[in-house]
């Protein structure tokens, strides 16, 4: 009797039941390592190259359309992308104003990081004060001042880090929103009109996991039936003309 029960149990484990077992799962492929790199910028207005830091400074202009901002190219990637840059105020330097103790300025500039369809991702703000030459972040070459320096220079520095969503697109725009300036006499100036440089950016980098390049659209093949129909129509027209 025991042998009969054992035989029946063995027979019940049919090949069909065994074949229903799920195959072992494959381990997921490891994600690519994070890449940290400087990025390609399209500057609407080049401020200049720093004589001390060697950095490239780009003006950030006020505007309403992303195409008018500093454009940052986003490479193919997997997952979110981390955008980092240094944001600076702009100051027009004058030895005379410093001697007269009227050089003080309190700057607050606000810019936006936008997708190319004009969706705001996040705002960034730089607030800094200028009193003396040492308050400048850097001096720029290519000007008519002493030593070939430009009068306009970046002042103050704020490190900005923003996480961009995975579907951010191939570019983002750094676009100026407004600038508030408090002068030495206590007066306040506000600038919002489009096309005015209100801040500068430098040291722009991206951190991301590389991804495959976007798929190219496959050109649609012509419809053979329509092509043959057109060819036969042309042949009929030629025969009619000859008859």
Convert the pLDDT of each residue in 81-123 to its tens digit: 999 999 999 999 999 999 999 999 999 999 999 999 999 999 9
Query: 3-state SS string over the chain?
Result: CHHHHHHHHHHHCCHHHHHCCCCCCCCCCCCCCCEEEECCEECCCEEEEECCCCCEEEEEEECCCHHHCEEEECCCEEEEEEEEEEEEEEEECCHHHHHCCCCCEEEEEEEEEEECCCCEEEEEEEEEEECCHHHECCCEECCCCHHHECCEEEEEEEEEEEEECCCCCCEEEEEEEEEEEEECCCCEEEECCCCCEEEEEEEEEEEEEECCCCCCCCCCCCCHHHHHHHHHHHHHHHHHHHC
Whether the pLDDT of residue 4 is over 50: the answer is no
Reported as a single tens digit per residue, the pLDDT across 72-92 is: 999 999 999 999 999 999 999
Q: Note if the pTM is more than 0.85.
A: no
> Quick one: average pLDDT of 47-75?
97
For the residues 201-208, what does the mean pLDDT come to? 97
Residue 3 has pLDDT above 50, yes or no: no
* Domains in the chain, CATH or no CATH each: 32-207 (2.60.120)
6-53: pLDDT as tens digits = 445 455 555 555 556 767 776 666 677 889 998 889 999 999 999 999
């Amino acid at each position: 009797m025991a042998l009969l029960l054992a035989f029946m149990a063995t027979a019940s484990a049919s090949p069909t039941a065994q074949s229903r077992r799920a195959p072992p799962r494959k381990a997921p492929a490891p994600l690519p390592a994070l890449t940290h790199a400087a990025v390609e910028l399209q500057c609407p207005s080049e401020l200049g190259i720093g004589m001390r830091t060697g950095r490239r400074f780009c003006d950030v202009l006020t505007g309403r359309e992303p195409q008018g901002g500093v454009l940052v190219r986003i490479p193919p990637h997997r997952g979110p992308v981390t955008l980092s840059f240094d944001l600076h105020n702009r100051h027009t330097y004058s030895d005379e104003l410093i001697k007269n103790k009227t050089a003080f300025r309190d700057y607050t500039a606000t810019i936006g990081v936008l997708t190319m369809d004009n969706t705001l991702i996040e705002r960034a703000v730089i607030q800094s004060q200028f009193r003396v030459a040492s308050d400048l972040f850097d001096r720029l070459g290519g000007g008519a001042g002493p030593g070939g320096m430009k009068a306009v220079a970046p002042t103050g520095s704020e490190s900005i880090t923003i996480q961009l969503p995975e579907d951010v697109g191939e570019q983002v725009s750094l676009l100026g929103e407004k600038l508030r300036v408090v002068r030495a006499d206590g007066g306040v100036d506000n600038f919002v009109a489009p096309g005015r440089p209100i801040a500068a950016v430098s040291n722009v980098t991206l951190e991301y996991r590389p991804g495959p390049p976007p798929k190219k659209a496959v050109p649609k093949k012509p419809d053979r039936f329509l092509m043959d129909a057109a060819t036969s129509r042309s042949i009929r027209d030629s025969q009619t003309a000859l008859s």
